[in-house]
A and B are shown apart, each in its own frame.
Chain A
């Protein structure tokens, strides 16, 4: 047992922190929000040059072979900077699915391009009727002579419009298993509705009507894709947890500074005991969140049950803490907190998006209970 970061991990943290502090300013965020995809292509190229896009990709495919810990280090910094570049969509989810489930030639064709920054991916899985049940997919794939035909609809595809390939989940017609397909979004029959996403970046909804795909669009073989989806989403939960930690810590730091500086009734806000205790509770939540994000990362490659319990445990715990920290940060800033005058609102929104993504705290408590063999519904 040793939780000291390696030299490489320390360097990664330093360079990520430096990048956020020096480059990822509020002004850049403002510019990014106006970009058509909600992020900057130039920054994405910088990510590639820094080796961040190659980080979790194996060396055989032009990557660095890092793991969930390294991703967590980056994501925490991204949280501090409210980074809107689609690292989660392209690298964690997209490349993650290809690495986990793709055929050898698909990995060879796709992963090096993710690593060098020339390819964006996205994952279209969520459906409105399914809410957060990963196993429920109503989008249907029918096998035809020359390939597949997809029908259905997807919601909140993270950064889908920026992607050249969207990985779409569908159920093989007549109660078959889940499959994944590589879908270029300009395929006939695809209607893409893009919108800005809460807290930064974009997302889109997809309508799929009689969408013909060639046989080799199938990602992987004809085995059930659900285990791969669960594994990749568990890793995404660990990554998002780390990102949330970065945001929570920033809100704590900002609120601490603000309540020490702002005076009402002739004394700093933080001189009031109720405010001090509130700040203390915020810091306890931050600390627990940090522990849970680390735990989920350390167990990202464990066997599915253990991995799932750690990921859902992290999502449940950090979700609750994120909500407390975000709401109290706003509250303690007074009217300043509920306006766009400060960044507090931006963090609040991004943490709200974090809470929603892949299901809220109660959803993950239920999954945790189920994975632990407890009766749950």
Chain B
């Protein structure tokens, strides 16, 4: 066993560094560092997405035949780590990491030919239509209906908490196409054009003051039958497949480490009155760093197993649980580090294009909103309570 990288991997690391340096200008890094939401606003990521696409690096996890770069797990690791430490904007996962794998796994040849290139280029911006007002943790109780009418489905109902529905031109959605004894049956996975007549979007502000999520209403929205993925009524299987991708993003420790480094720098700075001199802050920095070490080792163990062809299994829930908890520990420490300045509210958005001078420094500005919005980490993609249930079933056999 060995933690060091082979020479070829080190050469690749240099390539990645060069590529990032050439394609992520300082203003974009600044915008990303000031982004307090869970996802980056599209205007921050388009340039980077385009560069990645031209280089053939837009979808690290995809098979090469669909446009993946054909990287080894070590290369993927290096790429994610370099991106994290350079403060590169995060590409929205909804296309590349969520709907992409479903289309690759279950889509028709036409769907693959049409949608996959548009995901890679960023031409399509996707949102995820799963949750409904009455169906959160108990997702398969969902009620939004799609009724067959000739070559179309007619969709009625509502989705809620839809991240970036106001930016997206496409939604992948779980809808009910028939009533079956088991509520997981009769659900279908369809692709919806967000410009279709009958769709209205109501913005919902998050606790940090950001417009990130929405409620989406469907009023007789017509969706071509060709936009059904896989078989009618099998949507639950595809949806769950996708959730595993959503949860076990695989390489999250690098972003967490970068976030902790940011907090650590702040703690050593005069602008926080050198918070690190408070022994409590110093200990917590170490404690969280060690948590990240443990997470990173688990991720490496999984990657290594996958390299040998093994299936990661229920570990995706374990990773999701720890990543979200560690994320919240980091943002919380950030709040304690900035001390008095945590009381300062900057209501204007986006933070990287304010047209007035805020009451606190750039480094402090996003700390509190990140913490507030960060409370969502233990809720979206399946709450921590639900992850613990899954782990207790799949890992412990309870």
Binding site for B on A (CB under 8 A): 126-132, 155-156, 193, 195-198, 203, 205, 264-266, 272, 274-275, 327, 330-331, 334-335, 337-341, 345, 348-349, 352-353, 356-357, 360, 362-363, 377
17 pairs of residues in contact across A and B, judged by CB atoms under 8 Å: A131-B272, A193-B359, A197-B343, A198-B345, A265-B137, A274-B388, A331-B379, A331-B384, A334-B383, A335-B131, A337-B207, A337-B379, A338-B375, A339-B205, A352-B342, A353-B342, A360-B336
Residue B198 at the chain A interface, CB threshold 8 Å: no
**Complex Cα–Cα for A264 and B372 (A):** 25
In this complex, what residue of B is CB-closest to A131?
Answer: B273
**Complex Cα–Cα for A196 and B138 (A):** 38
Contact pattern, B 344-377, Cβ under 8 Å of A = 1, otherwise 0: 1111000000000001000000001000110110
Contact residue among B280, B339, B340, B372 (Cβ-Cβ distance under 8 Å from A349): B372
**Complex Cα–Cα for A272 and B376 (A):** 21
Contact residue among B135, B344, B359 (Cβ-Cβ distance under 8 Å from A198): B344
**Complex Cα–Cα for A188 and B231 (A):** 75
Residue B99 at the chain A interface, CB threshold 8 Å: no
Which chain A residues border B264 with CB–CB below 8 Å?
Answer: none
CB distance from B193 to the nearest CB of A (A): 25
The answer to whether A335 and B379 touch across the interface, beta carbons within 8 angstroms, is yes
The answer to whether A129 and B343 touch across the interface, beta carbons within 8 angstroms, is no
Contact pattern, B 174-210, Cβ under 8 Å of A = 1, otherwise 0: 0000000000000000000000000000001111010
**Complex Cα–Cα for A131 and B336 (A):** 10
Binding site for A on B (CB under 8 A): 131, 135-138, 141, 160-161, 204-207, 209, 213, 270-273, 275, 278-280, 335-336, 339-347, 359, 368, 372-373, 375-376, 378-380, 383-385, 388
The answer to whether B375 and A335 touch across the interface, beta carbons within 8 angstroms, is no
Contact residue among A130, A327, A335, A340 (Cβ-Cβ distance under 8 Å from B376): A335
Which chain A residues border B385 with CB–CB below 8 Å?
Answer: 272, 274-275
Which chain B residues border A196 with CB–CB below 8 Å?
Answer: 345, 347
CB distance from B389 to the nearest CB of A (A): 9
Which chain A residues border B345 with CB–CB below 8 Å?
Answer: 195-198
**Complex Cα–Cα for A331 and B342 (A):** 21
CB distance from A298 to the nearest CB of B (A): 29
The answer to whether A330 and B273 touch across the interface, beta carbons within 8 angstroms, is no
The answer to whether A339 and B368 touch across the interface, beta carbons within 8 angstroms, is no
Which chain B residues border A156 with CB–CB below 8 Å?
Answer: 340-341, 343-344
Which DSSP category, helix, strand, loop or mixed, fits chain A's interface? Answer: mixed
Which chain B residues border A349 with CB–CB below 8 Å?
Answer: 207, 372
The answer to whether B346 and A195 touch across the interface, beta carbons within 8 angstroms, is yes
**Complex Cα–Cα for A360 and B340 (A):** 10
In this complex, what residue of B is CB-closest to A196?
Answer: B345
Contact residue among B131, B359, B376, B380 (Cβ-Cβ distance under 8 Å from A205): B359
**Complex Cα–Cα for A339 and B204 (A):** 7
**Complex Cα–Cα for A266 and B134 (A):** 11
CB distance from B7 to the nearest CB of A (A): 46
The answer to whether A338 and B376 touch across the interface, beta carbons within 8 angstroms, is yes
**Complex Cα–Cα for A156 and B338 (A):** 12
The answer to whether B340 and A155 touch across the interface, beta carbons within 8 angstroms, is yes
Known contacts A264-B136, A338-B373, A356 near B161 by CB under 8 Å: no
CB distance from A262 to the nearest CB of B (A): 9
**Complex Cα–Cα for A130 and B277 (A):** 11
Which chain A residues border B340 with CB–CB below 8 Å?
Answer: 126, 128, 131, 155-156, 356
**Complex Cα–Cα for A235 and B359 (A):** 29
The answer to whether B375 and A337 touch across the interface, beta carbons within 8 angstroms, is yes
Which chain B residues border A338 with CB–CB below 8 Å?
Answer: 206-207, 372-373, 375-376, 379
The answer to whether A155 and B341 touch across the interface, beta carbons within 8 angstroms, is yes
The answer to whether B368 and A198 touch across the interface, beta carbons within 8 angstroms, is yes
CB distance from A126 to the nearest CB of B (A): 5
Which chain B residues border A265 with CB–CB below 8 Å?
Answer: 137-138, 141
Which chain A residues border B206 with CB–CB below 8 Å?
Answer: 338-340
**Complex Cα–Cα for A128 and B378 (A):** 32
In this complex, what residue of B is CB-closest to A360?
Answer: B336
Which chain B residues border A130 with CB–CB below 8 Å?
Answer: 273
The answer to whether B383 and A264 touch across the interface, beta carbons within 8 angstroms, is no
Which chain B residues border A132 with CB–CB below 8 Å?
Answer: 339
The answer to whether B136 and A334 touch across the interface, beta carbons within 8 angstroms, is yes
The answer to whether A377 and B279 touch across the interface, beta carbons within 8 angstroms, is yes
Which chain B residues border A264 with CB–CB below 8 Å?
Answer: 135-138, 141
**Complex Cα–Cα for A299 and B278 (A):** 29
**Complex Cα–Cα for A33 and B222 (A):** 42
**Complex Cα–Cα for A349 and B342 (A):** 10
Question: Which 10 A-B pairs have CB atoms at the shortest separation, nearest pair first?
Answer: A264-B138, A345-B207, A362-B280, A340-B205, A196-B345, A129-B273, A156-B340, A131-B273, A338-B376, A335-B161
Known contacts A197-B345, A339-B206, A352 near B131 by CB under 8 Å: no
The answer to whether A128 and B205 touch across the interface, beta carbons within 8 angstroms, is no
Contact residue among A126, A335, A362 (Cβ-Cβ distance under 8 Å from B136): A335
**Complex Cα–Cα for A197 and B383 (A):** 30
CB distance from B86 to the nearest CB of A (A): 29
**Complex Cα–Cα for A275 and B379 (A):** 14
**Complex Cα–Cα for A345 and B346 (A):** 16
Which chain B residues border A353 with CB–CB below 8 Å?
Answer: 342-343
The answer to whether B342 and A129 touch across the interface, beta carbons within 8 angstroms, is no
**Complex Cα–Cα for A362 and B343 (A):** 18
Known contacts A335-B160, A335-B213, A195 near B359 by CB under 8 Å: yes
Known contacts A195-B345, A196-B347, A330 near B375 by CB under 8 Å: yes
Identify 9 new A-B residue pairs, CB closer than 8 A, beyond the known A128-B271, A131-B340, A196-B345. A156-B341, A264-B135, A335-B161, A337-B379, A338-B373, A345-B372, A348-B372, A362-B278, A363-B278
Contact residue among B272, B280, B376 (Cβ-Cβ distance under 8 Å from A128): B272
In this complex, what residue of A is CB-closest to B205?
Answer: A340
The answer to whether B375 and A327 touch across the interface, beta carbons within 8 angstroms, is yes
The answer to whether B342 and A198 touch across the interface, beta carbons within 8 angstroms, is yes
The answer to whether B344 and A203 touch across the interface, beta carbons within 8 angstroms, is yes
**Complex Cα–Cα for A132 and B337 (A):** 12
Contact residue among B205, B279, B335, B339 (Cβ-Cβ distance under 8 Å from A131): B339
**Complex Cα–Cα for A85 and B277 (A):** 35
Which chain A residues border B137 with CB–CB below 8 Å?
Answer: 264-265, 334
The answer to whether B207 and A340 touch across the interface, beta carbons within 8 angstroms, is yes
Which chain B residues border A357 with CB–CB below 8 Å?
Answer: 343
Which chain B residues border A195 with CB–CB below 8 Å?
Answer: 344-346, 359
CB distance from A276 to the nearest CB of B (A): 12
Which chain A residues border B204 with CB–CB below 8 Å?
Answer: 339-341
In this complex, what residue of B is CB-closest to A128?
Answer: B273
CB distance from B267 to the nearest CB of A (A): 11
Which chain B residues border A377 with CB–CB below 8 Å?
Answer: 279
